[in-house]
Amino acid sequence: METVSVYIGEIAAIATAFLWMLSSLCWTAAGERIGSLAVNVIRLIVALPMLMAYLWVTEGALVPFSASANTWLYLSISGVMGFFVCDLLLFRSFLLIGPRLGMLILSLAPPMTALIGRFLLHEHLTRLNWLGMAMTMAGVAWVVLESPAVQGESSRRYVFTMRGGLMALLAAASQAIAMVIAKMGLKEEISAVGATEIRLLAGLASFLVLLSVMGRYPMLVKAAGDRRALGTIVLGAIVGPVVGVAMLMVAISHIPTGLAQTFLALSPVMIIPFMRLIYKERIGFHAVAGSLLAFAGVALLFLK
């Protein structure tokens, strides 16, 4: 148990990567049926009562109003950047270039986060940290850049486009900013679930404003009537915005934000077996070798 407590941040970050990988598959499947914008909004609407119920049971409050104004400010900005800006761009990129390529480009977030964290949070990584980060990112890139062979006429293959790539790159930058600002909001005492709820409320409010400006509420109502998509979104909301983001708040409260982002970059490696099952992609040598390199880099990040 003592070992677990020492590495609680790293373990939480790895759990987040796995949960976000699962949620990316859910968002892609649902987005192909009802569109990325509808998925973005509905998943937050579904996740909010789950967080409120958990907070009520554990802390006796539906909303963490006991948090200070500064905490609300930082976490709200982080929520807008993470849940709104980042996810709006990322989900659209999933539909254009697929979840695997989208998450590859998103893996550029770790060095972005580390650099921003150095200036705003004065976080300093060791040479071993940087080596582990470089190895992990190189392994992830090796895995995802391999051109997969596709079996069967019914399987779908995503290809890279400049538009999809740019959206994923901007998503990576906004996620890096959101991560650092979230840690600034966690300096005061607040639970991971409470912090997640504040961020989610800010993100949901941003989407509702966008829908009002675009006049897209009828689209949202129609999309909510798709039972198959709604079921997929509920599953994705549980593993992503609820449990996954709460795990992320635990991670960044214990380890530097750049390291937390590096663990999250493992999602494209973790997604390989699922892409094999769903999209019939054949796993080649590069995927295996890249996975081993990525996990070797992660092993270095566990060295204190």
Alpha helices in the chain (DSSP H): 2-6, 8-34, 36-59, 69-79, 87-106, 109-120, 127-145, 162-185, 192-214, 217-224, 227-237, 243-252, 257-264, 267-270, 272-279, 285-301
What pLDDT score does 154 carry? 39
What pLDDT score does 149 carry? 44
- Rounded to an integer, the average pLDDT of 252-263 is 84
Read off the pLDDT band of 144 (50, 70, 90).
low
What pLDDT score does 78 carry? 95
For residue 226, CA distances in Å to 42, 44, 216, 239 come to 11, 17, 16, 20
What pLDDT score does 136 carry? 82
Q: Is pLDDT of 162 > 70?
A: yes
DSSP letters for 115-164: HHHHHHT-----HHHHHHHHHHHHHHHHHHHS--EE-STT-------HHH
Read off the pLDDT band of 155 (50, 70, 90).
very low
What pLDDT score does 152 carry? 43
Comparing 72-76, 133-137, 243-247, 284-288, which segment has the lowest mean pLDDT?
284-288
User: For 7-20, what is each residue's pLDDT tens digit?
Assistant: 888 889 889 988 98
pLDDT averaged over every residue in the chain: 83
Q: Using CA atoms, how far apart are residues 20 and 107, in angstroms rounded to an integer?
A: 13
Output phi, psi for 282, to 5 deg. -85, 130
- Rounded to an integer, the average pLDDT of 44-66 is 91
Q: Using CA atoms, how far apart are residues 145 and 268, in angstroms rounded to an integer?
A: 10
Q: Is pLDDT of 98 > 90?
A: no
